[in-house]
Amino acid sequence: MKFGVVTFPGSNCDHDLIYAMRENLGQEVVHLWHKDHDLQGCDFIFLPGGFSYGDYLRSGAIARFSPIMDEVIAHANKGGYVMGICNGFQMLTEAGLLDGALLHNASTRFICKNVHIVPASRSALITQNLEHKAYKVPIAHGEGNYFCTPDVLKKLQDNDQVIFRYCDENGRITDAANPNGSLDNIAGVCNVGKNVFGLMPHPERAADEMLANMDGRKLLAQLV
């Protein structure tokens, strides 16, 4: 699998993701530029975390119209793999590739800390072979409060499209473990075709021995 990580103006987790996939997981990774129209033959496209366009207007709203997004959308619609992490997840909802929207955190404050998430979907590449337990993965966002209308929520649950939910360290899904007010403790979803994923927590920040937390590497390893 050839991976591509897109840099938008304001992305700041692109290098972290490239490092995790290349150094920690030994994968071939290409650095893509938002102004280009060429995915350089990548099979799997990452939209990284950060503050594209300063997160102005709405997180990911402006980046969604970068030239490369036409190719990313076409790639996804052809069944190609696309994953948005944090800001990347927001872009995918703005682009309509994923359902719902990421609103301001319930506390209206930016939150950066370790949280626990538990895999849900049995049919999505990133979760289907994961052990059903709590994984400690950090979050860092101001607009991570997942929202969708009740009918869309039902569709997500019926189609096994919820990939992760916030939980406590024992894997129990509780209100206390929900850091930002997300509906149904949702931390990440995928599309109907199970080829486009969105995740608010940052697995690339928990993938290196030097940082004393490797749970994120287990998640990213599912994509290899």
Partner 1 sequence: MSNQVSTPVTAEIAAKLGISADEFDKIKEVLGRTPNFTEISIYSVMWSEHCSYKNSILQLKTLPKKGERVLAEAGEENAGLMDIGDGLAVAFKIESHNHPSAIEPYQGAATGVGGIHRDIFSMGARPIAALNSLRFGDLSLPKTQHLLKGVVRGIGNYGNAFGVPTVGGEVFFDPCYNINPLVNAMSVGIVEVGKTASAIAEGAGNPVFIIGSSTGTDGIHGATFASEDIGEDSESKLPSVQVGDPFEEKLLLEATLECIETGALVGVQDMGAAGITCSTSEMAAKGNAGMDVDLDKIPTRQENMEAWEILLSESQERMLFVVKKGREQEIIDICKKWDVHCEQIATVTDGGMLRYFHKGELIAEIPAESLVLGGGAPVYVREQKEPAYLKEIQKFKLSKVPEATGEEHLEVIDFLLALPSIASKRWVTEQYDSMVGTSNMSTNDPSDAAVVRIIGREQAVVVTADCNPRYVHADPEQGCALAVAEAARNIVCSGGTPIGVTNCLNFGNPYKPEVYWQFAGAIRGMKKACEKFGTPVTGGNVSFYNQSESGGSVFPTPTIGMVGLIEDAFNKKMSMNFRKKGHVIYQMGRMVEDLGCSDYLYHYRGIKHSPAPYLNLEDEHKLQKALLKLIDQELIYSAHDVSDGGAAITLLESAFPNNMGFVIETP
Partner 2 sequence: MKYKATIHIMPRDEILDPQGKATLLGLHNLGLDDIGQVRIGKRIEVEVEAKDKQAAEDKVKEACTKLLANTIIEKFEFELN
Task: Compose the 53-92 pattern: x for residues touching partner 1 by CB under 8 A, - for all others.
Answer: xxxx------------------------------------
Cβ-based nearer residue to partner 2, 66 or 127: 66
> Closest distance between partner 1 and the C-beta of residue 157, in Å?
31
Dig out the tokens for 2 from the structure.
């050839």
Dig out the tokens for 128 from the structure.
């289907």
> Closest distance between partner 1 and the C-beta of residue 10, in Å?
5
Cα 86 to Cα 49: distance, rounded to the nearest angstrom: 5
DSSP letter assigned to residue 201: S
Active-site position among 34, 116, 141, 202: 202
From the list partner 1, partner 2, none, pick the one residue 104 interacts with, judged by a Cβ distance below 5 to 8 Å according to partner type. partner 2
148 is catalytic: no
Dihedral angle computed from the Cα positions of residues 133, 138, 141 and 143, in that order, rounded to the nearest 10 degrees: 0
Contact 48, 13 (CB under 8 A): yes
DSSP letter assigned to residue 208: B
94 binds partner 1 (CB under 8 A): no
Question: Taking the mean position of all CA atoms in its chain, how far away is CA 180?
Answer: 16
Neighbouring CB atoms inside 10 A of 198's CB total: 29
Cβ-based nearer residue to partner 2, 17 or 47: 47
Cα 114 to Cα 117: distance, rounded to the nearest angstrom: 10
101-130 positions binding partner 1, by CB under 8 A: 109-114
Cα 207 to Cα 173: distance, rounded to the nearest angstrom: 24
> Closest distance between partner 2 and the C-beta of residue 142, in Å?
11
34 is catalytic: no
Cα 182 to Cα 209: distance, rounded to the nearest angstrom: 30
Task: Compose the 166-205 pattern: x for residues touching partner 2 by CB under 8 A, - for all others.
Answer: ---------------x------------------------
56 binds partner 2 (CB under 8 A): yes
Contact 196, 190 (CB under 8 A): yes
Buried b (16+ CB within 10 A) or exposed e, 82-121: bbbbbbbbbbbbbbebbbbbbbbbeeeeebeeebbbbbbb
In the set 27, 105, 191, 195, which binds partner 2 (CB under 8 A)? 105
42 is catalytic: no
Active-site position among 42, 86, 148, 167: 86
Stretch that binds partner 1, among 47-55, 120-128, 157-165, 183-191 (CB under 8 A): 47-55
Q: Which residues are catalytic?
A: 86, 202, 204
Binding residues (CB under 8 A) for partner 2: these are 53-54, 56-58, 61-62, 65-67, 94, 101, 103-108, 145, 147, 149, 181
